Amino acid sequence: MKNNIDLRSDTVTQPSPGMMEAIMNAKVGDDVYKEDPSVNELEKYVADFFGMDEALYFPTGSMANQAAIKLHTQPAEQLICDHYGHVYNYEGGGVSFNSGVSCKLIEGFRGKINATQVEAAINPPDFYHSPKTSLVCLENTTNKGGGACYELSEIKAIREVCNRHNLGLHLDGARIANALVYKKQDPKDFGQLFDTITICLSKGLGAPMGTVLAGNKKHMQNAMRVRKVLGGGMRQVGFMAAAGLYGLKHQMKNLETDHLKAKEIEKTLNQLDFISKVDKVETNIVIFYLKDNKQENKFMKYLQDHAIQISQMGEGKLRVVTHLDYTHEMHNRFLDCLSKFN
C-alpha cells in the first residue's frame, strides 16, 4: 500500500522529530496568568520578528483575525477586503457575529486589492446613512487567490490611504512566511506598515496549532480581554507554543522547497491537454482548471484511486498545496499520475 498523498492543504502536516523534541522539552505554566515561559518566548520572538511592540498567542488563525477586527472596530462599522478574503469567506461569518461589522468587498486581482480601489470603497465619514469605514484587511499570501504575494510598494500606497482617512490596517498573514521567503522581504517592513499582523504556525511552518497576533501597544491594549471573550485563554499551552517557535526557527527555510515543487506542478499542468488554465504559481498553492468541467468528478476519482487528495474550490477551481510532508517520492508519483490521466 502506497502512502497517501495529501495535497488538500499545508495544514495536514505531522510534527517533525525535531518539533516533537521541542514539545517534549517545553517548560510550561498557566498562560492565562501569563506564566507560561514557552508562550512568552514565542510572543516575544514574533513581536521582535516584525519589530512590533507586542504579540499574543491564539489557538487558531480565525480567532486571531477575529480578535484583530474587534480591536479595530465598533459595531455597525465596516471593513474593506477583497471578495476572496478569508475573513469574509472562511471564518463562519464571524465578522458580523463577533464584531457586528459588515464587509465592503473589492474585486481585486487574485485576492489582492490596490490603493485606488480601497480609496473608492471608503464611505464618506459625514454621510451617516452608510456604515462608518474603519478598517482595511489585506491577505498575504492570498489563499483563494492561489498564493499570490503583494509588493511592498503596493502595501505602502494602501497605508497612505489608511493614514489619510484614519483607517486601521490589518494583515491576515496566515502565510506571510511564504511571502517573506518568496519575495525575500524583511518582516520588519511589514511591522512598520500594518497596525496588526497575524502569522499562522500550523500551515507551512508545520506546527499542530496556533497563530500569533502582533501589533503595537495602541492596538493591542484590549487583546487579552478580547481573546478571553472569544474563549481563547489557554493554560499550559507552551507545548504547542514551543512547536510553533520551532517551526519559525527551523522549518521556515523549507518553504523554498515547497515553492519549487509547486512551480514544477504548474509546469507539468501547463503541458497537459485536459488543463485549460493554471494560475501563475508564486508560493506553495497551485490553482488550476480543467478544459471540460464535466470531467471534474472523473479526475477526482482518478486521483483518489491513486491515493491522492486535492481540493475542489467550486466553479471548476482545483487547488493543490505543497507542504513539509510532501516528499520528493510523492512529488514524482503525483507528476507521473497527472501525465497519465485521459
Ligand X SMILES: *Cc1c(COP(=O)(O)O)cnc(C)c1O
CB atoms within 10 A of CB 218: 9
Residues 87, 111 contacting (CB under 8 angstroms): no
Any contact of residue 178 with ligand X (CB under 6 A)?
A: no
Residues 211, 55 contacting (CB under 8 angstroms): no
Q: What residues numbered 65-84 form the site for ligand X, per CB under 6 A?
A: 65
Any contact of residue 95 with ligand X (CB under 6 A)?
A: no
Least distance between ligand X and beta carbon 260 (Å): 21
Q: What are phi and psi of 260, to 5 degrees?
A: -60, -45
Q: What residues numbered 142-161 form the site for ligand X, per CB under 6 A?
A: 143
Least distance between ligand X and beta carbon 123 (Å): 25
Distances (CA, A) of 232 to 50, 62, 210: 23, 11, 11
Q: What residues numbered 8-67 form the site for ligand X, per CB under 6 A?
A: 60-62, 65
Taking the C-alpha atoms of residue 194 and residue 216, their distance in angstroms, rounded to an integer, is 9
Q: Which residue has the cell 487583546?
A: 223
Comparing CB distances to ligand X, the nearer of 11 and 268 is 11
Record the cell numbers describing residue 76, joined without a space. 455597525
Comparing CB distances to ligand X, the nearer of 200 and 255 is 200
Any contact of residue 174 with ligand X (CB under 6 A)?
A: yes
Q: What residues numbered 184-203 form the site for ligand X, per CB under 6 A?
A: 200
Comparing CB distances to ligand X, the nearer of 203 and 338 is 203
Residues 211-240, one symbol each (x = binds ligand X by CB under 6 A, - = not), give: x-----------------------------
Comparing CB distances to ligand X, the nearer of 38 and 62 is 62
Comparing CB distances to ligand X, the nearer of 194 and 299 is 194
Q: Which residue has the cell 519589530?
A: 51
The residue of the chain with the least Cβ separation from ligand X equals 61
Any contact of residue 172 with ligand X (CB under 6 A)?
A: yes
Least distance between ligand X and beta carbon 182 (Å): 15
Q: Give the torsion sign (CA, 203, 204, 207, 213).
A: negative
Residues 212, 40 contacting (CB under 8 angstroms): no
CB atoms within 10 A of CB 107: 9
Comparing CB distances to ligand X, the nearer of 97 and 166 is 97
Strand partners for 318: 288, 312
Contacts of 275 (CB under 8 A, 6+ apart): 269, 288, 289, 290, 291
Comparing CB distances to ligand X, the nearer of 295 and 309 is 309
Least distance between ligand X and beta carbon 111 (Å): 9
Least distance between ligand X and beta carbon 173 (Å): 8
Total residues in contact with ligand X, by rule CB under 6 A: 11
Least distance between ligand X and beta carbon 339 (Å): 29
Least distance between ligand X and beta carbon 207 (Å): 11
Comparing CB distances to ligand X, the nearer of 200 and 240 is 200
For 206, half-sphere exposure in the C-beta direction (CA atoms, 13 angstrom radius) is 26
Any contact of residue 86 with ligand X (CB under 6 A)?
A: yes
Least distance between ligand X and beta carbon 142 (Å): 7
Least distance between ligand X and beta carbon 86 (Å): 3
CB atoms within 10 A of CB 253: 9
Contacts of 289 (CB under 8 A, 6+ apart): 275, 276, 277, 278, 316, 317, 318
3-class SS at 93?
coil
Comparing CB distances to ligand X, the nearer of 61 and 206 is 61
Closest CA to 302 of 273, 340, 276, 262: 340
Taking the C-alpha atoms of residue 223 and residue 213, their distance in angstroms, rounded to an integer, is 9
Q: Which residues contact ligand X (rule: CB under 6 A)?
A: 60-62, 65, 86, 139, 143, 172, 174, 200, 211
